[in-house]
Structure 1
């Protein structure tokens, strides 16, 4: 039997998405149509999107660094700006590096690093079981271990002081600002992936403190932060004996900090 023709009303769909605040309504409409394949399924997906569910959770994937990354409901959606961390990590990694991706979420950064480098060790870590399961699915077939636990805690003790790069897209939204985030993040992503404490830097300070012990001399810590937090984070890193520098990527509206452990 031939499939029933599917001819959605694109202008109406775009108008509804735009009225709900979807900035890229035309693009989202095409993605929803492709994912649905039938009128009833499209209606359900559209209702959910208008209600505030992340597009990526509805599709089951997000694009990151040219790759399609699986994203399960409740898991932090990789943002385009986090490509800055990938570029920064690659720039300082050297040949056959040992790397760890903390607060890995879906594992998007590890996927990109595994494809662009030839690491002797690469591991991803997250405290959220749903994120760990998602990361393991995305990293299946690659030689990347995915650990569940708090920051450095689940890593093999033999790696201490031997890592060339620690990269972390840790939460950096100040606690009072979490309630002001868009509903798609605030209600549909794990709070542990968003809330960075009173000033947004609580988790990043812990990441930095651990990096002092886990990095090899000359190794680098690479983290994402807001532009307004960069100076305070650099001061904290310098206080730990690390040598920080700020990187900006206007094309992604991204800010990162790269900190070197002195030789």
Structure 2
């Protein structure tokens, strides 16, 4: 992700745009993808960051899932007690969880956590995009999006989205009405591993749609690389 006011050119790469792969370039700043195509304009070479991959890289849009973070070291364990840890220690758990989410291509984490204020502090400190889900009144910060839950109803910017237990689905219960995939009960953030679970359950196509759907639901973009889309880009470097 580029810094504010800075532009980036990723040249000579494979780009997944929806269900089509093209060979070309991506030109973006920190707010949006400015241009995409097969041949970059010479003026784009003046960007602050220029990377030429000689067609040994693949770019695709980032993903979004919901999970908890404060219990990061105890994923998959039902019996644990966070009360023995200080707030600073719990923030370290949250930080480690966010790091692994990003490593796994989750560029828009949706956090359902009993410590939403601590999550917000970590997101702000590291300038990470994210969505916080809360059923209590908490302080809001610019740059962080919020889903508020009241009487099991999820609201986004005062718009009623629906019932929490219908919008947030675990991997074994995903369906076309789900908006957010909740992986809180899984011991891994690895989307490849989770995809295998979805495939075995016969829900692979629904899973693939669901991990970009939050971008559409929250009005960020269409969940694909395109002009005007948010530059939440995953780049797989295939060079030796």
In the superposition, the TM-score normalised over structure 1's length comes to 0.23
Higher relative contact order (CA 8 A, sep 6+): 2
In the superposition, the TM-score normalised over structure 2's length comes to 0.25
**Which one has a larger percent helix, Structure 1 or Structure 2?**
1
**Which one has a larger percent strand, Structure 1 or Structure 2?**
2
